Amino acid sequence: MQTAEQNNSLMESASAATWKKIGAGPRAGLVVPLFSVFSETSCGIGDFNDLKLLIDICAVTGNSILQLLPMNEVGPAFCPYDSESSFALEPSYIALRAIPSLPLDSVKKIVACMHEFKLSGRSHIDYRIKERKLAILREIFAEMPVGVSAEFTSFLMGNRYWLDDFALFKALKAAHKGSAWWEWDEKFRRRDHAALIAFADEHAGEIMFQKWLQWQLYRQFKSAREYARVKKILLKGDLPILVARDSADVWSHPELFQLDFDAGAPPDMYCAKGQRWGTPTYDWQKIFEEDGAYLKAKLAYAGNFYDLLRIDHVVGLFRIWRIPSAEPKENCGLNGKFYPADESLWEAQGRKILLFIIQNSRLALCAEDLGVVPWQCVKVLAELGIPGNDVQRWTKDWNNRHDFLPPEEFRFLSATMLSTHDTTCWPAWWQYEAGTIDEGLFLRKCAERGIDGAAASARLFDTKLSAHGRLRWLDAIASVDILCRELGRRREELMDFVDLYLNSYREKEKLWCGLSMAGPMQEKSSPALVEAVTLRTLKSRSVFFLNLITDWLSLDYILKKDPYEYRVNTPGTVVDRNWSLLMPLSLEKLLAHPVCAKIRALNETAGRAGGQ
């Protein structure tokens, strides 16, 4: 656990004010996509009333942090990290029954909608619920008394920076049948002032509906935030590093974005062509020429709802991979370059942006720093007192021992976890990924050396224990010398293969022993195994332990299907199963389930229960 010296280092950092506010002691938390849970009164998807039940569950289990995925309005792929706005909230999450003064006819339609989109027994969300909810909301809005309340007026005036443009963007998008803003009539695409005023006058009803809708969402989220304060639960939000090209932000502030470029990632051992996300990169110089007004506004609005904020892909604040928009799509990220190109500028840029966020927000910051992280990022995060992320399955000594780090060697300044929303849950990792390497990567490396990949796979890997694109080593490949002999090359020619082997061969057996599990190693996970790895990670010296809901529930026999099915997102794929996973029991049943007592006992044993 933490030492007095470590706590003092936080109180002397640039983030000292927020650490003093929330406390620097060890905490545990629950990470959950709101769309993945439901209550007995949910209408087709988790909503802001359900957020209060999640807060109750946190209080009962000794978790003092509730972390959510981004809550911004999503586009057609329903990806929380590809939103139509950095400000506007997702309408699907509105609790219809919580809207004041509902007309009787609307109540009947809500009940019918609840019955049609009943969540019990489903494994994934049916996102047609969004349009159904919006249809009901339009009818409710039409029945509302004429006139604007003082509270609504205050909301309109206090959020003019983004709300006017967002509501206009939504109305224009509807008028153009959902097409991207760069496909609109030129006068709207280029934001001709007279044309926009005329359109706004003609579509005043739709524009006011969008503003009213955001007000209702704001009120419900604020209510949940106040409930969390009473229960002494901290809410943690998620700030995506980028925003969708087809968003109100980019349309209304094109000067703040480098529209001739797409963000992405360079080629690496997993993606031979790199990645191309389609999101434009920021023009930080222009942002700061405007005194950071855009960033200040985002932080201010997020401050209405959260106590802590996760900065997604924080390395992108230091340097980001830019791909010219004119590049053929099939080249992916091949022909991009890091920006700034001058590596000597990375540290100063990242520090400037993070310091600006600290100085213009009351939110405590955490950083998602997974993947290949330049030393400048590591240095600045430590200097500013911002925790990074440590995922148990990747928290290893990769270069010497080739084994998992013991709890006392975890980073103090980190939020540690068993899984993320972009990985398999921990039981699925144990069953299908521990002790394996990526099949595509192996075959690609074989092809580069002129090695017959299929034949080599048959000699090196256990086909019975290889699945989902992962290759499990045969026990007989018991040394590097055997590996090199089977591949028919000298060790010096196979150092990347050797590295993969050393960090994955008998990985499961190593962790099984490290957890002091009794008996022979078991291929499939169990609640006892999850409890052992959870407690081990809870006892690490990391300041936060933030566990995904699927991993907390794996402490009991609640998730009964193949664990590989309980995945929130598979990066690099666009499929209906992404961003739609649904838990198998209601929040009311979960609140009364014995697993809650088990979670609390673990948090108490590790000294993390209840926070500070």
Per-residue pLDDT tens over the stretch 371-428: 889 999 999 999 999 999 999 999 999 999 999 999 999 999 999 999 999 999 999 9
My answer on whether 596 and 455 are in the same domain is: no
Task: Tell me which of 459, 487, 505 is where a domain ends.
Answer: 505
Q: What is the CATH number of the domain that holds 16?
A: 3.20.20.80
What pLDDT shows up at residue 248? Answer: 98
Note whether residue 260 is domain-resident.
Answer: no
My answer on whether 65 and 189 are in the same domain is: yes
Nearest to 439 by CA among 453, 422, 426: 453
Question: CA triplet 173, 176, 182: central angle to 5 degrees?
Answer: 75
Note whether residue 270 is domain-resident.
Answer: no
My answer on whether 9 and 138 are in the same domain is: yes
Note whether residue 221 is domain-resident.
Answer: yes
What are the tokens at 181?
Answer: 């803003």
Task: Name, in order, each residue with C-beta under 8 angstroms of 250's C-beta and a sequence gap of 6 or more.
Answer: 181, 243, 244, 257, 259, 280
pLDDT digits (tens, 9 = 90+) for 102-151: 888 899 999 999 999 999 999 999 999 999 999 999 999 998 876 779 99
Q: Which residue has the tokens 């998730």?
A: 559
Q: Is 577 exposed, middle or buried (0-12, 13-18, 19+ CB in 10 A)?
A: middle
My answer on whether 311 and 381 are in the same domain is: yes
Residue 91 in contact with residue 121, Cβ under 8 Å? no
Note whether residue 516 is domain-resident.
Answer: no
* Structural domains counted in the chain: 2
pTM over 0.75: yes
My answer on whether 35 and 130 are in the same domain is: yes
Residue 549 in contact with residue 57, Cβ under 8 Å? no
My answer on whether 178 and 300 are in the same domain is: yes
My answer on whether 223 and 291 are in the same domain is: yes
Element (H, E) at 321: strand 320-324
Percent of the chain with pLDDT over 70: 98
Kind of pairing between the strands at 308-311 and 234-239: parallel
In the chain, the amino acid numbered 238 is D
pLDDT digits (tens, 9 = 90+) for 233-244: 999 999 887 899
My answer on whether 477 and 417 are in the same domain is: no
Nearest to 142 by CA among 109, 166, 175: 109
| β-strand partners of 364 | 308
Note whether residue 148 is domain-resident.
Answer: yes
Q: What is the extent of the structural domain holding 601?
A: 4-254+279-320+364-429+542-605
Q: How many helices (H) and strands (E) does the chain have?
A: 25, 18
DSSP characters over 248-308: HHHHH-GGGEETTEEEEE---SS-TT-EE--PPEE-HHHHHHTTTHHHHHHHHHHTTT-SE
pLDDT digits (tens, 9 = 90+) for 427-486: 999 999 999 999 988 999 999 999 999 999 999 999 999 999 999 999 999 999 999 999
My answer on whether 40 and 62 are in the same domain is: yes
Kind of pairing between the strands at 337-339 and 320-324: antiparallel
Nearest to 67 by CA among 364, 430, 362: 364
Residue 451 in contact with residue 489, Cβ under 8 Å? yes
Lowest-confidence segment of 77-86, 141-150, 264-273, 444-453 by average pLDDT: 264-273
What are the tokens at 304?
Answer: 């209405």
What pLDDT shows up at residue 544? Answer: 97
Note whether residue 530 is domain-resident.
Answer: no
